[in-house]
Structures are given as structure tokens and as C-alpha cells.
Amino acid sequence: MHSFKLTLAYDGTRYSGWQFQPGCLTLQETLEQALAKITGETIRVIASGRTDAGVHALGQAVSFRSDTALAPAVLLKALNAELPHDMAVLAAEYAAANFHAIASAKRKRYRYLLCDGPVRDVFARNYAWQLHTRLDDAAMHRAAQALVGKHDFASFETSGSERQSSVRTVLELTVSRGGAAPQISPVGPPHGCPADFVSIEIEADGFLYNMVRAITGTLVEVGQGKRGEDWPREVLAACDRRAAGRTAPAQGLVMLRVDYGL
């Protein structure tokens, strides 16, 4: 029995999210079916985070165990031949026997992409939240710094979660226009203008359910001038989801990477 770690990229547009649901197209089932076809085994995979419908990944981490004699490099090629074109295995490796994609994770990094150009970007429609007013990205960045550090993020957690604690440590929270997300539009200049995109990158030791999207919805209200720069600090202190802004739509979110401190 081997323990494996996969790093996956996927375009979440077509999928009802990561987690298996009967009658729905899910990323988990698609990967498990490809593994079954290749190894002949019934394999359960565990992802570092169960992304929602429409959420993307550039570096999702997955763990599983298998009796397969296939080397990781062979498994990678076989999986990429089997998977649909909106999923790809970027890396496959043997992992420690006790490696677990959720329990072993030390830090995760997400990006949320906003588009605020004068006309919608047709190539970003599945990859950004398109807003119709120009955002004050500098004010958003300043306001966001109140969330950096170890805090109770209950105000930014969608209820119904079973997590025991809503305390998390945000290591970095950067709001930037253009430069930080140099490759946004699949078809590029002259009209896929970097200056029309604002990216929010967040790295933390863990995330609550919908945390990045609730933080984004809150920062957008600051960027639109509807709320002052002190507001996110007040929302955080309230420890009440009703205090925060709306949950930003799924398609702007991408899981960038998971660090295991290996």
C-alpha cells in the first residue's frame, strides 16, 4: 500500500464543486473514476479543501492510498490521458504513510479576482466577479490589514459549518490592481486590460466555510465607497456573520496552493 499526493488544476465552471453528490458532476467523482479505470481499485480521495461549484484551482492537493505498482510519473500521465480537459494533474508523488491532505496542511493560499472595467470582459466571465463601478483598491488594501493576524473570523463564516473553532491566523492579505495578477484574461491585450482587474490574495493557516468570499464581499463595499476603511475591523470584532458584506460569487475564487511544510 502506497500513500500518494497529487497536485491538481481545474476549471470549476462545469462542476457542482469538489465533493461527491449523487446525480451531480463533481471533481471528486471524476478523479475517483479515472483512478478506478487506471488502477482497477476503488479509491477514495481526500482534497485539502472541498471547493464549491464554480470555484477553480491552480494547486489543489489530494491524498489517497493505493496498492498500484504504477510509479507516480506514470500515474500522472495516465490520469491526464483519462481526465477531461478542464482537469489536470500537475504533480504526482509518494507521500508519508500518514499524509492526509486536510490534516497535514499548514497553510493555504487563495485568490479572488474582481473586474471593474467600463465594459465587461467576455473572457473573464467565468473567472472574476464583474462590477460596474470602479473600486478604490488602495482603500481596500488598507482596510484589509485589520484582518491580518490571529482572530476569531466568525463574522466571515457561512453558518451551518461544523468546525469547532472559528479562530484562524491570516498570514497575508493583499489587494492589488493589475500587477499582482498579470495573467488574467485568456486572450490578453489590448482589451483584456490588466488595469481593469483587482486581485485579493489571502494566505492563512486555514479557512472557514466561504471565508474568502465573505471577506471579498466586505472589502468590495469599502472599495465602492459604501463603507469606510474601518468597517472590516468592526465586522471582525462583531463575531456575527450578519455584520459582514455579501458572499462574493463563486467564479472569482481560485485555490492557489497548499503548503505542507514538508
Nearest distance, CB of residue 182 and its own copies, angstroms = 6
Query: From the centroid of its chain, how far is CA 182?
Result: 18
Closest to its own copies by CB, 179 vs 225, is 179
Selecting among 11, 52, 86, 205, the annotated active-site residue is: 52
Query: From the centroid of its chain, how far is CA 246?
Result: 17
Nearest distance, CB of residue 172 and its own copies, angstroms = 15
Closest to its own copies by CB, 11 vs 32, is 11
In the complex, the residues that contact its own copies under the rule CB under 8 A are 9-11, 56, 58-59, 76, 80, 85-90, 111, 113, 119-128, 181-192, 194, 254, 256-257
Catalytic residue status for 259? no
Closest to its own copies by CB, 74 vs 187, is 187
SS3 176: strand
C-alpha cell at 24: 451531480
Q: Parallel, antiparallel, or unpaired for β 253-259 and 56-66?
A: parallel
Closest to its own copies by CB, 11 vs 229, is 11
Nearest distance, CB of residue 70 and its own copies, angstroms = 17
Amino acid at 177: R
Give how far Cα 115 sits from Cα of 105, 120, 148, 197, 207, Å. 31, 8, 24, 5, 24
Nearest distance, CB of residue 42 and its own copies, angstroms = 26
The C-alpha atoms of residue 137 and residue 126 are separated, in whole angstroms, by: 22
Give how far Cα 254 sits from Cα of 23, 112, 137, Å. 25, 6, 19
Residues 6+ apart with CB under 8 A from 251: 12, 13, 54, 55, 56, 125, 126, 127, 128, 129
The C-alpha atoms of residue 72 and residue 26 are separated, in whole angstroms, by: 24
Closest to its own copies by CB, 42 vs 183, is 183
List residues with catalytic annotation. Answer: 52
